[in-house]
Chains A and B, each alone.
Chain A
């Protein structure tokens, strides 16, 4: 397949970065196992930059690799990111997991990626019914921070307003506590404790996760009640105020637990209570890492 203009520009940037020695590794996308799939690729030689590509099938959040020991060894790294994924890079910098000096951000303008399960069935059109909900609420079609920007050739996503992103949140908010519990008990019952949600998350970077600590055993190991609820709730809490909404946990989940409903609900709550959105400013202090006198304290009774 011929290179698009986007691909050409991306490849040129990557090649230059590797040739000049500014980075030792470029993390990007390349063509995947079928025409509707892309996959991560790791480029260390300038002549291999031609493998790089980008499209509305670039679903992965490549920032997840920045937490990996095998990748960190490369030192200075260039990374290809969509606007959503770029927020994860910012959050990692905010949380001292990554130095701004060690990362070159190749920002990809993006007007939405097609849901992978639809793409696998042959869907090729970007539209409000085929992209992820995160794309419908996206404010960062152009990444907020980048060293290089690759403009998109895709038309702007047209929103009729008929498709309501994360519509289930309002429905769940309207339920009683018992009904909400019943809803989530049914969802968590499906969990098989593979922890793919954790592994796919760019911000789940603990070298030893709480579920792997057994003195004491904080989280029951079983994949039943209450072990499943314990895991899913602790995952949610550890990401509140931090999750940037890339949706990789939900995409990776092999049993289709709607994890983004939890993440998005938390993000809304944090914004309403603290006026904070994660990953927008590398100089901001993480919301739960600071105390401010103006923080609300109505909960103290």
Chain B
């Protein structure tokens, strides 16, 4: 579908959100709790915080829950019953909307979709992703940790959003990218007014401070470079970068249960953990934290792009903002580009 363009006033946007909630949509938006802002279910428009740049965590958990049951079993006498986790899948509801996220977060969905449909089709991810409607708001003031522009997106990118809202005075322009977004706009057509592309303010000329292709070309040739061991001596392997990342998607499959009942689950995992690559023999191919942080850089800026033609990073900067030891991935990627 070609992009379509609408206008909606700020008042009507509020009405829109309140009305979809009344019509039983589950609306997930940046909302204040525990002294910060996180994505969470809201029960009215006022609960959304649209002033902040980004919530502390991404909304990855709404596509890939931190723990997911793949199947359950129960044994009674000689009878064994196995229940497919897909039957009890939660959050794959057609009436689920992420509202008020940013273009970087929206960009993560279609990037992750590639690996979840590469050889094995991951039905759990797909069920949630195809049903999720993403309404993002373009950024006006990215901060110093943001680098979406370097990551082939921009503060005004509509990639991955079903509807991208661009603020203009006391109204928003809605860029509708596909059927999912269009159906929603049509269902509340009294609040939206159709317009044309030329009325939508042009994107600003967002400047890049480094070229990610150069970062990649450094990584292509310098696996053994000292930089990794020296720079990441300060990494404590806490994994916060990977857990708060919208595109990091590694999981660990575990069985829990006993002779009578149990389940197979998958949990979030992280390449920053020493145990992540520990072999049964006791050998570990990634011995140091330098080896592990290098792996994160390689996966994001080299391996994934070679396999799927997209970098595994949207430049949201969460890993830098949340790093307890102040490792700034934008600065690192820039350093590497400069050394290429």
B321 in contact with A120 (CB, 8 Å): yes
Any A CB within 8 A of the CB of B165? no
Q: For A194, list chain B residues within 8 Å (CB).
A: 238-240, 242-243, 268, 270
Assembled-state Cα–Cα distance A40/B321 (Å): 15
Any A CB within 8 A of the CB of B320? yes
Assembled-state Cα–Cα distance A115/B240 (Å): 18
Contact digits for A259-282, partner B, Cβ 8 Å, 1 yes 0 no: 000000000000000000000000
Q: For B270, list chain A residues within 8 Å (CB).
A: 194
**Which segment, of A81-89, A162-170, A249-257, faces chain B?**
A249-257
Q: For B326, list chain A residues within 8 Å (CB).
A: 32-33, 37-40, 60
Any A CB within 8 A of the CB of B57? yes
Q: For A217, list chain B residues within 8 Å (CB).
A: 256
Any B CB within 8 A of the CB of A71? yes
Any A CB within 8 A of the CB of B43? no
How many whole Å from A73's CB to the nearest CB in chain B? 10
Give the residue name and chain of the B residue nearest to A40 (CB): B234
Partner of A60, one of B144, B229, B290, B324: B324
**Which segment, of A92-100, A102-110, A130-138, A220-228, faces chain B?**
A220-228
Any B CB within 8 A of the CB of A157? no
Assembled-state Cα–Cα distance A65/B267 (Å): 28
Any A CB within 8 A of the CB of B89? no
Any B CB within 8 A of the CB of A68? yes
Give the residue name and chain of the B residue nearest to A64 (CB): B236
How many whole Å from B64's CB to the nearest CB in chain A? 12
Q: Which of A166-206 contact B (CB under 8 A)?
A: 190, 192-196, 199-200
B236 in contact with A223 (CB, 8 Å): no
Any A CB within 8 A of the CB of B244? yes
A117 in contact with B267 (CB, 8 Å): no
**What is the size category of the interface that chain A forms with chain B?**
35 or more
Give the residue name and chain of the B residue nearest to A74 (CB): B233
Give the residue name and chain of the A residue nearest to B329 (CB): A33
Give the residue name and chain of the A residue nearest to B36 (CB): A256
Give the residue name and chain of the B residue nearest to A57 (CB): B326
A33 in contact with B331 (CB, 8 Å): yes
Assembled-state Cα–Cα distance A167/B116 (Å): 46
Q: Which of B286-340 contact A (CB under 8 A)?
A: 288-290, 320-322, 324-328, 331
Assembled-state Cα–Cα distance A65/B288 (Å): 13
Assembled-state Cα–Cα distance A223/B35 (Å): 22
Assembled-state Cα–Cα distance A251/B270 (Å): 19
A192 in contact with B35 (CB, 8 Å): no
Give the residue name and chain of the B residue nearest to A42 (CB): B233
Q: A37-B326, A193-B267, A195-B273 are in contact. List 9 more A-B contacts (CB 8 A).
A: A34-B144, A68-B233, A192-B61, A194-B268, A196-B239, A200-B236, A221-B267, A252-B240, A256-B35
9 CB < 8 A contacts A-B: A33-B326, A39-B327, A65-B234, A194-B242, A221-B265, A223-B66, A251-B324, A254-B57, A256-B35
Chain B residues proximal to chain A, CB less than 8 Å? 34-36, 38, 56-57, 61, 66-67, 144-145, 229-230, 233-234, 236-240, 242-244, 252, 254, 256, 265, 267-268, 270, 273, 275, 288-290, 320-322, 324-328, 331
Top 8 closest pairs, chain A to chain B, by CB: A39-B326, A196-B238, A199-B238, A256-B34, A33-B328, A223-B66, A40-B234, A194-B243
